[in-house]
């Protein structure tokens, strides 16, 4: 009981911190980045070679069945990147092995008709997800200059779950935070999601 209370308290504190972080980041990144030159100029103003941002800090999923087919954890990276690694509870994940349940995916960011060379979307795709996959996932990106940036995502999966009131409550309380992603999966064929 005490452990459940501590976990709930930690999640509430994390959500409050993420809402404040989201508001700061919104002010910091609400600018027009229409080209790679704009991205580089933005990084120069931030005195950064590379920047990880727009990570969904908390991903909560409830699923009616015992195994969720897959879920994507996402972050965006600006700047030059020579290496990206994903960690689960501080353990390096093998994302390059086709037999692995973890895949690292990336693509140039697309915005307003433009694909960027200095702005990428990175995903960690987890396959056959269960409650055993709950925990902290960290993306670490390395620049050619040796700078290492990281973003952290907390995954909380509830399987065999059917109470929609939990989702409704989360949407009401945290409706203004872009850092929280709550997904309610109804069946293997139908997925509902809302980014708050």
For each of the chain's 196 residues, which pLDDT tens digit applies?
Answer: 454 444 444 444 445 555 555 555 544 445 688 899 999 999 999 888 899 988 877 788 877 778 888 999 999 999 999 999 999 999 999 998 888 899 999 999 998 888 999 999 999 999 999 889 999 999 999 999 888 999 999 888 887 766 665 666 566 555 555 454 544 433 322 233 333 3
CATH number of the domain that residue 28 is part of: 2.60.40.10
User: Using alpha carbons only, what angle is made at residue 43 by residues 113 and 88, rounded to the nearest 5 degrees?
Assistant: 85
Enter the pTM of the model. Answer: 0.67
Q: How many domains does the chain have?
A: 1
Domain membership of residue 61 as a residue range: 2-195
């Amino acid at each position: 009981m005490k452990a459940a209370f501590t976990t709930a308290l930690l999640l509430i504190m994390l959500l409050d911190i993420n809402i404040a972080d989201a508001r700061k980041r919104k002010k910091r990144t609400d600018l027009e980045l229409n080209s790679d030159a704009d991205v580089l100029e933005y990084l120069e103003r931030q005195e950064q070679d590379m920047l990880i941002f727009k990570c969904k800090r908390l991903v909560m999923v409830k699923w009616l069945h015992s195994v969720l087919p897959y879920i994507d954890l996402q972050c965006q990276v600006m700047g030059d990147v020579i290496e990206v690694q994903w960690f689960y509870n501080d353990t390096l994940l093998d994302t390059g092995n086709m037999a692995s349940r973890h895949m690292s995916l990336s693509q140039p960011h697309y915005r307003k008709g433009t694909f960027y060379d200095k702005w990428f979307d990175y995903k960690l795709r987890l396959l056959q997800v269960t409650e055993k996959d709950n925990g902290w996932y960290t993306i670490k990106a390395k620049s050619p200059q040796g700078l290492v940036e990281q973003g952290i995502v907390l995954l909380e999966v509830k399987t065999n779950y059917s109470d929609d009131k939990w989702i409704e409550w989360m949407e009401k309380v945290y409706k203004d935070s872009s850092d929280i992603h709550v997904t309610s999966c109804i069946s293997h064929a139908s997925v509902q999601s809302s980014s708050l």
